[in-house]
Amino acid sequence: MEVDERLGTFGTVLMMCGNFGLAGNAGECARTLRTLHRITQPDARVILDSEDPYVDNDPADLAYLERNRAAGRMPGQVTIRLRHQERVTPWFDQLIVSPSDLAALAEQSGWRVAHVVAGDPPDYYAVLEKAVPSAAPPVSCGA
């Protein structure tokens, strides 16, 4: 969240193991993507993984998605904390986005989804590239 030009210019940004979602909400995610756009090379890529929150059919999870919508949050925004033995983090938000939600966030931040590769559902992997006016639509690949 605090990365800026002081670190230099990058060609690739790797955001695996849920790191893409650490921005917490849609607004912060878009802001982070705009920052990454500014501090990366013209042909830069962001490689990330996420989960599609719409894949799970568990009634409790579907109710959580609906409560988020009603509260004006993205459906896949989850509030969590980590615990290990006696240590517990403060509560924080993590954003879990579907490929289509990712495309919308990327588009408003100067990126486009170049590739989506399915993992074990609900997991997927994606590559963002800087948007250009004549960019081709995303390419989806099977697992």
Please state whether the peptide bond connecting residue 53 to the residue before it is cis, i.e. omega within 30 degrees of 0.
Answer: no
pTM of the model: 0.84
Per-residue pLDDT of the chain (143 residues; tens, 9 = 90+): 677 788 889 999 999 998 999 999 999 999 999 999 999 999 999 999 999 999 877 899 889 999 999 999 999 999 999 999 999 999 999 999 999 999 999 999 999 999 999 999 999 999 999 997 655 556 556 54
Structural domains of the chain, ranges and CATH numbers in brackets: 11-135 (3.40.50.150)
